[in-house]
């Protein structure tokens, strides 16, 4: 018995250590991949490689990092980030508020699907930049039109994932809930939404990327603040360092947004 108890005590500790080593290895590999990317970039620019692409025309990564360090000391850089984050967050929240119930309705009702989905499917393939003239006509402020574009970017991925998730909910669970006395609203809260949660988070992950593309499009075309506007202005001023800084800032913001969604998903869907 004593040996068994020692084995049970050692096993969790060894498992935790192995998990920590695995996580440390993963972080090391990710860091090495970024460093290798920067090294390859530096070599291609330093030796003025012009084939198959004109890599020699790019700024060196050390020059960009130096300019980025200067930007990190400027308040305007953070103001632009906050403006873009607010627009994306507003668009995603609106997308969730409209897409989840609509996707549930279309997924469960063939008549709603026949009535609504053809029109929605007509608008879904339209590039976000094509919505900009319509958004500027519909809304009285530029801010509202940019948020509308981010909403459109988040809406369709969440809608499709919710529709498919609603159709995949086992009917045996729904029937069991009805037998236990659950009404329609309670069935939605207790059965459908929990079962649809993985699909909702999948659509949210895709929608966040689309929302970031939408906000950058809106800021470039009609904005006066935001990281997209700053990137576009730097390009027009031929300040390629700042333009690339804006590009990577957008990438980091999108990466952080997706990581936040994954963290929330792990907390909400612990059984997955």
What pLDDT sits at residue 4?
44
Q: Is pTM, for the whole model, over 0.75?
A: yes
Q: Could you read off the pLDDT tens digit of each residue along the chain, which spans 272 residues? A: 444 444 444 446 566 677 788 888 888 998 999 999 999 999 999 999 988 889 888 999 999 999 999 999 999 999 999 999 999 999 999 999 999 999 999 999 999 999 999 999 999 999 999 998 899 899 988 999 999 999 999 999 999 999 999 999 888 888 888 787 888 888 888 888 888 999 999 999 999 999 999 998 889 887 788 999 999 999 888 899 999 999 999 999 999 999 999 999 988 887 65
Three-state SS string over the chain comes to: CHHHHHHHHHHHHHHHHHHHHHHHHHHHHHHHHHHHHHHHHHHHHHCCCCCCCCHHHCCCHHHHHHHHHHHCCCHHHHHHHHHHHHHHHHHHHHHHHHHHHHHHHHHHCHHHHHHHHHHHHHHCCCCHHHHHHHHHHHCCCHHHHHHHHHHHHHHHHHHHHHHHHHHCCCHHHHHHHHHCCCCHHHHHHHHHHHHHHHHHHHHHHHHHHHHHHHHHHHHHHHCCCCHHHHHHHHHHCCCHHHHHHHHHHHHHHHHHHHHHHHHHHHHHCCCC
């Amino acid at each position: 018995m004593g040996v068994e108890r020692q084995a049970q005590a050692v096993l969790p500790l060894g498992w935790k250590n192995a998990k920590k080593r695995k996580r440390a290895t993963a972080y090391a590999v990710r860091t090495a991949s970024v460093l290798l990317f920067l090294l390859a970039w530096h070599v291609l620019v330093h030796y003025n490689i012009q084939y198959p692409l004109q890599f020699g025309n790019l700024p060196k990564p050390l020059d960009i990092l130096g300019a980025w360090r200067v930007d990190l000391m400027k308040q305007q850089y953070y103001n632009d980030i906050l403006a873009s984050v607010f627009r994306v967050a507003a668009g995603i929240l609106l997308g969730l508020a409209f897409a989840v119930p609509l996707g549930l309705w279309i997924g469960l009702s063939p008549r709603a699907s026949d009535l609504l989905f053809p029109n929605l499917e007509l608008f879904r393939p339209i590039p976000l930049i094509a919505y900009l003239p319509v958004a500027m006509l519909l809304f009285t402020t530029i801010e509202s039109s940019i948020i509308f574009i981010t909403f459109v970017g988040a809406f369709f991925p969440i809608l499709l994932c919710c529709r498919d998730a609603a159709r995949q909910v086992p009917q045996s669970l729904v029937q069991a809930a009805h037998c236990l006395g659950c009404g329609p609203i309670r069935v939605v809260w207790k059965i459908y939404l929990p079962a649809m949660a993985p699909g909702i988070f999948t659509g949210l992950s895709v929608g966040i990327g689309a929302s970031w593309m939408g906000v950058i499009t809106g800021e470039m075309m009609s904005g006066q603040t935001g990281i997209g506007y700053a990137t576009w202005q730097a390009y027009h001023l031929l300040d390629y360092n700042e333009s690339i800084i804006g590009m990577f800032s957008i990438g980091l913001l999108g990466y952080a947004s997706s990581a936040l969604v994954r963290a929330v998903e792990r907390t909400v869907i612990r059984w997955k």
